[in-house]
Amino acid sequence: ALAKSLGAKYICKNLQSIIDEVYKRAKVGSAVGIYCAKGGLRSSSVAYVLSMIGYRIYRLNGGYKAYRNHVLEFLERSLSTKFITLFGNTGCYKSKLIRALSPSIDLEAMANHLGSVFGAINGAQPSQKSFEDALFEKLITLKDQICFIEGESRRIGSLTLPKSLYEAMRCGICVEVSASLENRISCIISDYKSVDKA
């Protein structure tokens, strides 16, 4: 009873700012997705109020916790996606190839890391959970398809690839990408131009 009372107080206290934020982002009548940590009272209350205003509400049953369990179960199973994995030295334009090929998964973009000693030049990486969620969302659109991916080590900066993806990358068709030394230097200078000279 105390938890429900506290939850109701929290909703009432924050409802005006929630409504203002939703109204700024979406017209009345728009579809709006709502979830909370466990899919309980708070998301139900907000969903009710927003639906009374005229929004079409979709609520995530079980909240983010249920979604995370679904993601982890999916990533623990063998993947049905087949991969063409690009390997090669740094500066061989593998990342640029991945961005040009379709369908493809750009792991370095998703991890916000270039997968090298100076790979963190673009700022903070997402959390492990956010990275896995993004991978899941991409992989469920690729079921049974052939997909291009860059051969990475198990770790990209501070993030770890799921074992299922790492194994699938290495069990697919492996392609070695090569470039002349001059082209590699040009690519590396372009990719790392923001690195401090020191």
Q: Which residues are catalytic?
A: 36
Helices (H), 27-140: 41-53, 63-76, 94-100, 107-111, 128-139
Measured in degrees and rounded to the nearest 5, phi and psi for residue 115 equal: 70, 30
Whole-angstrom distance, CA of residue 156 vs CA of residue 128: 11
Closest CA to 157 of 187, 135, 126: 126
Whole-angstrom distance, CA of residue 93 vs CA of residue 95: 6
Whole-angstrom distance, CA of residue 63 vs CA of residue 41: 11
